[in-house]
Structure 1
Amino acid sequence: MPVTAPRTVPETTIGFIYPDHAAEDDYPLAQRLLGDVAQLSVTHIYGTDLHAVAELLDLGSEQRLAEGAAQLAPLSPDAVVWACTSGSFVFGRDGAAEQITKLAAVTGTPTSSTSFAFTRALRALGLKRVAITASYPDDVAALFQEFLAAEGVDVVQLSSAGIDTAAEVGNLRPDEVAELMTQGDHPDADALLIPDTAMRTIALIDPIEQRIGKPVLTANQVTIWEGLRLAGAPTRADGIGRLFREGDADAF
């Protein structure tokens, strides 16, 4: 019988602190598309999954994130990302920066969050004018727009679906996600942003980019890219959008 070579274990490990459960299967899918250049290790913290300001402030609290960091510590990750957009931008630009500074003090390794991953991905592609399709209620979606504005990003259109919980987002069918993703596009936008890590998007990015003719940046996609960038791992791959084909990870 032929001998199967043992699978190579990636030397780089990136830790992701993910809230509850919804679309975390995007991470092993992305790892396969990346060719196992890094181990994408997801750990979970728990709170309410309601898309509401008070609940999101609790979800992204220093104590909860420290719990996630402690779970990742035995893996000695080369980088850590708080894989939650709303649980970071809800603090505002300065508050989100402080959140990451405190988390980095616990992880002892390069650390970021999905909200900053979006702005760095845009910078890597040289883009500033965006449209947003958010799953959140209007008031939460508006906070993402404010965060982007503080980072120098011009939002030409904001669309929000008004979905109350992450669980509901995670239960959307692929065709429903594809429809939701495209409804917020605008002809003046250079990129379309989809800011919810509870939404399964990795398999849909390339088809949607081909449909609308511009880069599509989704929460799990930019979170993974940011982790790779921070760890110094390769960020080139097919099948995960223009960011992974053309984004300049050294543009910082």
Structure 2
Amino acid sequence: MTALGFLYPGHSAEDDYPRVEQLLGSDVRLDLVHTDVGEDVQRVDALREMGSPERLAAGLQELRLSGAEAVVWACTSGSFVHGWEGAHQQVRDLARAAGMPASSTSFGFVHALREIEARRVAVGATCPDDVAQLFAAFLRDGGAEVTGVRGSGIVTAAEAGTWGEPELFALARAADSPDADAVLLPDTALHTVAHIPALEKDLGKPVLTANQVTVWEGLRLADRRVNAPELGALFTREPVVQV
């Protein structure tokens, strides 16, 4: 059994995680602990506070008791707003406090792009343009070429959590560009897991979404590969066979 821990801010699209757990199989357990959001607003200062060491540390005791082998800060904007170096410091602090390997959704996107060998990416974000551009800068620091960024102007996670299939597909299509190898939807407050195969079929390319990537990053930290095509191209890589 592989047990993974996730620190998830507030309550928006957390039901994506039991759905993923079901698709991964019986030997992977996903334990979710909710962290205090503070002010639910997609503004840089509020997002930095949301990912502060004190807020993240508050949920760690519960994860330790769950037997988690690794922990992921399940928030994209609450990590990339600190910049490349600041986001690294954030996960170092989290790993030290947790006593286990740690990462964040933002780094999950960077690592997932390397996994699927996608270099040119298009970004479809629910947040305002200024915050979305910070994510694009983070991706560039991670070695990606960003072909375009589409922001949606949503200012709260609560509103993003109300989006359904029509809004999700409209965002992905608006963000896509012919020269993009993949489309990224970086909001963990957005329900996406049930729609990934259909999105990839519609766009004709890999689609990486925040909650999908967050779980994949946890598996990477635990040195696990799981073949689960229902979770998209990222989860269709065959496990490495040790010779």
TM-score interval, normalised by the smaller of the two chains: over 0.9
Is the CA contact (8 Å cut-off) linking 2:21 and 2:29 kept in structure 1? yes
Matches within 5 A, 1:35-50: 35-46=25-36, 47-50=38-41
- Which structure would you say has the larger Rg? 1
Matches within 5 A, 1:200-239: 200-239=191-230
CA-atom RMSD in angstroms: 1.4
In the alignment of these two chains, the number of paired residues is: 240
Q: What is the CA–CA distance in structure 2 between the aligned matches of 1:183 and 1:220, rounded to whole Å?
A: 20
Shift of 1:181: 2.3
Is the CA contact (8 Å cut-off) linking 1:129 and 1:190 kept in structure 2? yes
Is the CA contact (8 Å cut-off) linking 1:114 and 1:222 kept in structure 2? yes
Q: What is the CA–CA distance in structure 2 between the aligned matches of 1:103 and 1:224, rounded to whole Å?
A: 17
Gaps of at least 5 residues in structure 2 are none
The reply on whether 1:17 has 2:7 as its aligned counterpart is yes
Q: What is the CA–CA distance in structure 1 between the aligned matches of 2:174 and 2:168, rounded to whole Å?
A: 10
The reply on whether 1:190 has 2:195 as its aligned counterpart is no
Pair 247,188 (structure 1): closer, same or farther in 2 beyond 3 Å: farther
Q: What is the CA–CA distance in structure 2 between the aligned matches of 1:220 and 1:181, rounded to whole Å?
A: 15
Is the CA contact (8 Å cut-off) linking 2:12 and 2:157 kept in structure 1? yes
Q: Which residue of 2 aligns with 1:174?
A: 165
Is the CA contact (8 Å cut-off) linking 1:124 and 1:247 kept in structure 2? no
Mean Cα deviation higher: 43-52 or 55-64: 43-52
Mean Cα deviation higher: 18-27 or 235-244: 235-244
* Runs of 4+ in structure 1 over 6 Å off: 247-250
Gaps of at least 5 residues in structure 1 are 1-10
Shift of 1:232: 2.3
Shift of 1:249: 7.8
Q: Which residue of 2 aligns with 1:124?
A: 115
Matches within 5 A, 1:1-252: 11-46=1-36, 47-246=38-237
Pair 182,32 (structure 1): closer, same or farther in 2 beyond 3 Å: same
Q: What is the CA–CA distance in structure 1 between the aligned matches of 2:39 and 2:149, rounded to whole Å?
A: 25
Give TM-score, length-normalised by structure 1.
Answer: 0.92
What do residues 87-109 of structure 1 show as CA deviations (whole Å, max 9, x unaligned)? 00000000000000000001111
Mean Cα deviation higher: 203-212 or 229-238: 229-238
Give TM-score, length-normalised by structure 2.
Answer: 0.95
